[in-house]
Amino acid sequence: MKSLTTLILSMFLCSSAYAEDVGQFTFLGSGQCAPFEGTLFDAKATSRLLTLEEEMILGCNAQLDFELAKQRTELQLDLDSQRIRFEADIKEKDLAIETQLRQISDLQNALKKVSANNKWLYAAGGVATGIALSYAAYEVLVK
């Protein structure tokens, strides 16, 4: 806070803007005397001085427009690059999901094929085991 106050005070104390007289000018014909002491400019130099401010403003505005357009183009390029990267990541993710779904489907089909072939074995094994256990129980209990 103290440094901010110091900065503000130094700006006011060191300011070099003073109100000045804007000066005078007049057009003189050839051989006429000047009504005041000063520097004499011809019409071409006077027109140059009078249009200098407008020329500088136009130049500044043109430079500003150029820099803004350049910045806008750079930002648009960056945005397009990010969008392309995002779309590529989405496609990569979709491809990975599609591959995994295909693998799951293939594994499920393989499991169905293996399970379908062994059902009769499980049934036959269950019947054979049941008969063997019944016969063994009959033999043990009868004898």
pLDDT digits (tens, 9 = 90+) for 17-76: 554 555 666 777 777 787 777 777 777 888 888 889 999 999 999 999 999 999 999 999
Residue 16 has pLDDT above 80, yes or no: no
Residue 81 has pLDDT above 90, yes or no: yes
- pTM over 0.85? The answer is no
pLDDT for res 89: 97
Distance of CA 115 to the CA centre of its chain: 53
More confident residue, 84 or 44: 84
Distance of CA 7 to the CA centre of its chain: 37
Query: What is the Cα–Cα distance from 107 to 21, expressed in whole angstroms?
Result: 94
Rounded mean pLDDT, 118-125: 80
**Cβ–Cβ < 8 Å for 36, 24:** yes
pLDDT for res 6: 58
Query: What is the Cα–Cα distance from 139 to 137, expressed in whole angstroms?
Result: 5
Length of the chain: 143
Query: What is the Cα–Cα distance from 117 to 89, expressed in whole angstroms?
Result: 42
pLDDT for res 39: 74
Q: Where are the domains of the chain?
A: 42-115
